[in-house]
Amino acid sequence: MKVNVKFNLNGQQVELETEAGRTLLEVLRNEFNLTGTKKGCGEGDCGACTVLLDEKAVNSCLTLIPKVNGCNVTTIEGVGEDGLDPIQHSFVEHGGIQCGFCTPGMIMSTKALLNENPSPAEGEIRKNLAGNLCRCTGYAKIVDSIMKLSDK
């Protein structure tokens, strides 16, 4: 079944006619060539596919494309378009990135958190990012990168 979907993608209005059963993750990667958003599990368990849907962090692998009609979608490519966003800069400076596969999702979840709470405590960071798995860093330097943002 085909649907016509109109939404705002990284600040630009886009329109697409496609199968209703496709996920936002698959559409972003294959229709719009925005490969920054990753597939880690396809089942909503790992957070590698996190994007912002109307400023809230969602798993794009569990979001069916009709749901984004009329919404704002922000992917990692829409973050820091004029140089690095402070979150990206902090991750780079403080070792919050290793293999980089979880990184886009981590940064999107961090953005959603900081939009609501600009100075989260360590416990709040851990709780809000618990849906993003990382296998490389042990989470330590990711927490550190985010804490150091609020120091400014």
Which ranges of the chain does DSSP label H, i.e. alpha helix?
Answer: 24-30, 86-93, 103-116, 122-128, 140-150
Which ranges of 8-139 does DSSP label H, i.e. alpha helix?
Answer: 24-30, 86-93, 103-116, 122-128
List 55, 56, 86, 95, residue binding another protein (CB under 8 A): 95
* CA angle 86–132–26, rounded 5-degree value: 95
Q: How far is the CB of 125 from another protein (least distance, A)?
A: 7
Q: Which residues are within 8 A (CB) of 53 and not within 5 positions of it... i.e. 6 or more apart? A: 24, 63, 67, 68, 71, 72, 73
Q: How far is the CB of 43 from another protein (least distance, A)?
A: 6
Neighbours of 119 (CB within 10 A): 10
**What six digits make up the tokens of 66?**
């009709």
Output 19 or 69, the one with its CB closest to another protein.
19
* 141 contributes a contact to another protein by CB under 8 A: yes
- Contacts of another protein in 64-93 (CB under 8 A): 75-77, 79-80, 84, 88-89, 91-93
* 41 contributes a contact to another protein by CB under 8 A: yes
The SS3 call for residue 120 is coil
Count of residues in contact with another protein, rule CB under 8 A: 55
Output 70 or 100, the one with its CB closest to another protein.
100
Q: How far is the CB of 80 from another protein (least distance, A)?
A: 7
Question: H helices then E strands: how many in the chain?
Answer: 5, 5
List 3, 14, 39, 64, residue binding another protein (CB under 8 A): 39
Binding footprint of another protein on the chain (CB under 8 A): 29, 34-43, 45-46, 48, 75-77, 79-80, 84, 88-89, 91-95, 97-104, 107, 122, 125-127, 129-130, 132-144
